[in-house]
Amino acid sequence: MSFKKRTVVAAVAGILFLGCVSRRVVPSPGHSADWGVEVTWHGHSCFSFRDANGRVVVIDPFDETVGYRPLKLYADAVLITHNHFDHNNIQAVFPFGRSSLKIVDSTGTVRSAGFDFQALQADHDDQGGEINGRTLLMVWRMGGLKIAHLGDLGQKQLTAEQREALQGVDLLFIPVGGVVTLDAPGAAEIVREIAPRAVFPMHYGRPEVRFYPLDPVDPFLALFPPDQVHRLSGATVRISRKDLTDKTVIYVPGSFVSTNVPNQ
């Protein structure tokens, strides 16, 4: 089935079967920028982002061959960094109620669900994309924070355009598992160059991952002082601007969840 046909299937399925699912809105949140963003890790490179108004963005949903539990996610917008099976399973993402699901999967700046998403091309390897093709870097603002997800970045040096787009990033999501993306030293160098306030490593080896022998996250963490590594107890954390300092903090989720709706 083509990518376009799968898009239609996902949207129709959401309308027919998931119309009763409603978004969570924070009671009296005040300013959305003060509340920040709730980040949930679903495994691999897939995350959900929710703001105080209940708007949800999902990025890079994977299929069951990756090894993590099958996903059942809900969103206002879904971002796809590249068309590989471990990043483009839009059939696992459904709209809230009877709204339509917006999909962002090409370069340029797209406004969707009230957010402006900037997508830039990058290489999936360090050979100009000759081995693994291309990926997108996704950059947007949400909850008063600038967020960047680097997809399956494999190039070791950022271009001038990429550096400019990533300037001032608060939350950076970066692959660290090597083999087909940046490895630990390469990812650490990018982190030092960008100097984000917070980093979420992704696309690394765990017992669940069965499609590639990716490196675990620990070699990446070992390249930073222990006081900069924050191991979470669960899969979700809320981060606001007041939580951030000038020192980069590495967030490592302690678990992952296959859905982003409570009691599912």
Summarize pLDDT for 200-226 with one digit per residue, the tens: 999 999 999 988 899 999 999 999 999
Task: Extract the tokens encoding 114.
Answer: 């009230």
Indicate whether 258 belongs to any domain. Answer: no
List the CATH number of the domain containing 7.
3.60.15.10
Indicate whether 107 belongs to any domain. Answer: yes
Domain span at 246: 3-27+35-252
Give me the number of domains the chain comprises.
Answer: 1
Q: Which residue has the tokens 């959401």?
A: 14
Compare 37 and 25 and report the one with higher pLDDT. Answer: 37
Indicate whether 263 belongs to any domain. Answer: no
Indicate whether 194 belongs to any domain. Answer: yes
Task: Assess whether pLDDT exceeds 50 at residue 9.
Answer: no
pTM of the model: 0.89
Indicate whether 154 belongs to any domain. Answer: yes
Indicate whether 262 belongs to any domain. Answer: no
Task: Extract the tokens encoding 206.
Answer: 């765990």
Indicate whether 257 belongs to any domain. Answer: no
Indicate whether 261 belongs to any domain. Answer: no
Task: Report the candidate in 106, 100, 99, 79 with the shortest Cα–Cα distance to residue 90.
Answer: 79
Residues in CB range of 7: below 8 A, 6 or more apart: 90, 103
Summarize pLDDT for 129-157 with one digit per residue, the tens: 888 889 999 999 999 999 999 999 999 99
Residues in a beta bridge with 39: 49, 237
Summarize pLDDT for 48-81 with one digit per residue, the tens: 999 999 999 999 999 999 999 999 999 999 999 9
Q: Which residue has the tokens 């993590």?
A: 68
